[in-house]
Amino acid sequence: MVDFTLTDEQKDLRELAHNFAEKEIRPVAWEYDRDGTWPQEIIEKAWEVGLMNIHVPEEYGGPGLDFVSGALIEEEFGWGCSGIGTSLAANGLAMTPVLLGGSHEIKKKYLGMLTEEPKLASFCLTEPDAGSDVSGMKTTAKKVGDKYVINGSKCFITNGSYADWYTVYAKTDPDAGHRGISAFVVPRDDTITIDKKEDKMGQRASNTATVTFNETEVPADHLLGEENKGFKLAMMTLDRTRPGVAAMAVGIGRAAMEFAAEYSKERVQFGVPIAMHQAVSFMIADMATEVEAARLLTWKAARLLDQGVRNTLACSHAKRFAADSAMEITVDAVQVFGGYGFIKEYPVEKLMRDAKIMQLYEGTSQIQRLVIAKEVLMGRNVDEPLPESAARQNEAAAKESETASASV
């Protein structure tokens, strides 16, 4: 049984996040999208009011918020602008492997960097030849004395140009496929270069870059978890971050639905507002149902995490449905606006462009279907508790397919 009743604190947090999105993000969203503006000022404001690094435990300077609270915040970010929202939320993806696999000293140092100042970190998994199939990665980490030396390039890295440290996945056993991957926390230095900033279709206010490591040395204690267990750590991470991505997709869909509903009441054709035509009103009704269903799936995935229950199936349900729904809703919103929906002067074309990435990053919709199918067909107990190690996650599915979920 999953209880979706929000506490007073969660309601207050949602109101704080909505007001921030309404006052700080929405007014500049379309301008930042048009110009590809980096939202540094908004990042600093979000950090100041406590809307970043929300899952960092109190002992490392964070608020230690639950995952449902995180979903509430990210929905509002998506409602305001998912490009800016992604810039604000990406620290969560980078820090999760540190939370799961880092020593106390590593957590204190690197999580503390994020809570003491408005600094950024990036998650480096995807490569040009290793997207959904992570086992194809070519980045290596070679043990030399008491250090690892990392060489290779990572692409589609969110906040890559601005990060102060990186969570990097690399092959420590190049012949072992996904069983030879390890994870490291890597501070930025002169051996790390930013080779390319992507010019994207959507989420243009977020930074997406290629990051290259050239003989980059890191101390051996910067290994996260065990050597050659990085793939499992990545899967454990994504089970914790996908509910946030789903929540942001809900926010995009909700925004598109609201714009379409308002426009349908104002636009008059054949002597009446187009909302009075069943063809349009049914589209709005379907949008509302999809937003509601996607939100509930997202909350369930987040609540299971908060209860310490394995959520692999639930988070794939949520991420797949919310992402696909956001795409469908935004396409229909453009349709409701008609020809005006195709014009940049109107808001919904941006939302349609932004929605597409939701079906791609942190595991494509097809990868989510793969995970769902394996979970259902294998007949695993979806209510089993998380092991003390913080999770076996879906390693069984990984062993069979050697397919992991790509992330930016």
pLDDT digits (tens, 9 = 90+) for 13-43: 999 999 999 999 999 999 999 999 999 999 9
- 59: Cβ contacts below 8 Å, ≥ 6 apart: none
Rounded mean pLDDT of the chain? Answer: 93
CATH of domain 231-401: 1.20.140.10
DSSP secondary structure, 138-167, as one string:
--EEEEETTEEEEEEEEEEEETTTT-SEEE
For residue 186, the 8-state DSSP code is: E
User: What pLDDT sits at residue 4?
Assistant: 87
Catalytic residue among 290, 349, 362, 375: 362
- % of the chain beyond a pLDDT of 90: 90
The residue assigned the tokens 């992570």 is 134
The residue assigned the tokens 């000022």 is 41
- Bridge-based pairing of strands 121-124 and 140-144 is unpaired
Whether the per-residue pLDDT at 393 is higher than 80: the answer is no
User: What pLDDT sits at residue 323?
Assistant: 98
Whether the per-residue pLDDT at 408 is higher than 80: the answer is no
At residue 381 the predicted structure's pLDDT band, cuts being 50, 70 and 90, is: low
The residue assigned the tokens 């989510």 is 368
Residue 362 among the catalytic residues = yes
For residue 127, the 8-state DSSP code is: B
The residue assigned the tokens 């206010």 is 205
At residue 306 the predicted structure's pLDDT band, cuts being 50, 70 and 90, is: very high
User: What pLDDT sits at residue 390?
Assistant: 41
Tokens of 316: 């794939």
For residue 133, the 8-state DSSP code is: -
User: What pLDDT sits at residue 385?
Assistant: 55
Tokens of 258: 């609201």
User: What pLDDT sits at residue 378?
Assistant: 86
User: What pLDDT sits at residue 110?
Assistant: 98
Same fold, 8-116 and 121-230: no
For residue 114, the 8-state DSSP code is: H
User: What pLDDT sits at residue 131?
Assistant: 87
CATH fit for domain 8-116, picks 3.30.2090.10, 1.10.10.10, 2.160.10.10, 1.10.540.10: 1.10.540.10
In DSSP terms, 142 is beta-bridged to 149
Whether the per-residue pLDDT at 400 is higher than 50: the answer is no
CB 402, CB 179: distance < 8 Å? no
CB-side exposure of 398: number of CA atoms within 13 Å?
23
| DSSP E strand stretches across 220-347 | 223-224, 268-269, 272-273
Q: If DSSP codes are grouped into helix, strand and coil, which group holds residue 402?
A: coil
Work out the number of other CB atoms within 10 angstroms of the CB of residue 379. 7
On whether the pTM is more than 0.75, the answer is yes
CB 77, CB 84: distance < 8 Å? yes
DSSP secondary structure, 243-257, as one string:
HHHHHHHHHHHHHHH
pLDDT digits (tens, 9 = 90+) for 59-112: 999 999 999 999 999 999 999 999 999 999 999 999 999 999 999 999 999 999
Work out the number of other CB atoms within 10 angstroms of the CB of residue 188. 16
Q: In 94-121, which positions are buried (b, 16+ CB within 10 angstroms) versus exposed (e)?
A: bbbbbbbbbeeebbebbbebbbeebbbb
User: What pLDDT sits at residue 386?
Assistant: 56
Whether the per-residue pLDDT at 379 is higher than 80: the answer is no
At residue 401 the predicted structure's pLDDT band, cuts being 50, 70 and 90, is: very low
CATH fit for domain 121-230, picks 2.40.110.10, 1.10.730.10, 3.30.1330.60, 3.40.50.720: 2.40.110.10
Across 16-30, 174-188, 311-325, 381-395, least confident range: 381-395
User: What pLDDT sits at residue 83?
Assistant: 98
- 132: Cβ contacts below 8 Å, ≥ 6 apart: 363, 364, 366, 367, 403, 404, 405, 406
Handedness of CA 243, 390, 112, 192 (dihedral sign): negative
Domain ranges of the chain: 8-116, 121-230, 231-401
Instruction: Specify burial of residue 203 (Cβ count, 10 A radius: 0-12, 13-18, 19+).
Output: buried
Handedness of CA 277, 279, 285, 288 (dihedral sign): negative
d(CA 275, CA 272): 8
At residue 376 the predicted structure's pLDDT band, cuts being 50, 70 and 90, is: very high
- Bridge-based pairing of strands 181-187 and 268-269 is unpaired
pLDDT digits (tens, 9 = 90+) for 308-366: 999 999 999 999 999 999 999 999 999 999 999 999 999 999 999 999 999 999 999 99
Summarize the confidence of residues 265-270 as an average pLDDT: 96
